[in-house]
Amino acid sequence: MQDDDFFMRRALDLAARGLSYTRPNPMVGCVITHRGRVLGEGWHEAYGGPHAEANALAAVRPADRPLLPEARLYVSLEPCAHHGQTPPCADLLVAEGIRDVVVCNDDPFALVSGRGTAKLRAAGVAVATGCLAAEGRWLNRRFFTFHEQKRPYLVLKWAETADGFLAGPYYQPVQISGPAAGLLTHQWRAEEAAILVGTRTALHDNPRLSVRDWPGPQPLRVVLDKNLSLPPTHHLLDGSQPTLLYTHRHRPDRPHLQHAQLPEDAPDMLPGILADLHQRQVQSVLVEGGPTVLNALIEVGMWDEIRVFRSPKKLHQGIAAPRVGLSGLQEQRRVGDDELFWYVR
């Protein structure tokens, strides 16, 4: 069992290399061993590319291929059983003669969801599941939330002063967190599928909401702009990356700019927006909005992580940061001159 944990943890470490690049697919890693020796390993590197099992099998040396029927294969998510961008991995394992498979997590995706392990067992493959299951769910928390709860995974983030403000009076923009926190924020942007802000943040801060100081794909920019009050000169309307505006009004789409019209009689836009983002296959959202959006999500318990930078600076007056009693503190550490508080539900 100790060897199983060791090799599955290696599979999870490999899987994590696909962060930002596999979505909306999950991150998956695979290790093939024979009597404790690694024959091959691989991970799902990018959406549309070969899956982890195929990459691990391709890494096996020709001289070691006769050992595959005696090998044990570790994979961090149930092998797929359907034709998507690539052929079914369950069929591949059977064809390659693999007879012993250890799986970290069952796949919640409806087209897999037990079919992969069932196909393997029907072919005579011994399959064990649940090895390091909690660690696997944490790694693919966005994927599991998206498929099990039918909504994007929500990460709320803000920076506040030591006396509890996140903007100056009348929403005057103020640089609160330091450069180290800014760099980490760009890393977080690359890790999520979309970034969401409300109207006031878009108007007053004129943010780009782009990844500039970290390698990774650009997220979808999501703006709540009920009355289309954002000036065309603002960065969010510059057409530099995909942007989605939620509004009560109609306006034709443009390249890299889409409009989603919501009913004016809806008392709360957020449930409809989250449902629409789910339909658009947006798996996760980093919410960098102001207090209106942040408080609305917190009040109804609609969040999965909250990350707060607390600066030593003081404003003495301004727009207050969300005032909530949060539980589930996962991490507290220094980031440059700021303190990071990281909460998980």
Distance from the Cα of residue 102 to its chain's centroid: 25
Whether 53 is catalytic is yes
What lies within 8 Å, CB to CB, of 177 at 6+ separation is 159, 185, 309, 311, 335, 336, 338
Alpha-carbon dihedral sign for residues 214, 59, 4, 131: positive
Of the residues 53, 96, 160, 305, only one is catalytic, namely 53
Taking alpha carbons only, the member of 236, 232, 233, 202 closest to residue 218 is 236
CA dihedral angle for residue 231, residue 233, residue 235, residue 236, rounded to 10 degrees? 40
Between CA 210 and CA 301, with CA 142 as vertex, the angle to 5 degrees is 95
Contact 336, 179 (CB under 8 A): yes
Between CA 104 and CA 108, with CA 105 as vertex, the angle to 5 degrees is 165
Taking alpha carbons only, the member of 164, 232, 165, 177 closest to residue 203 is 232
Taking alpha carbons only, the member of 188, 187, 195, 258 closest to residue 222 is 195
| Active-site residue list | 53
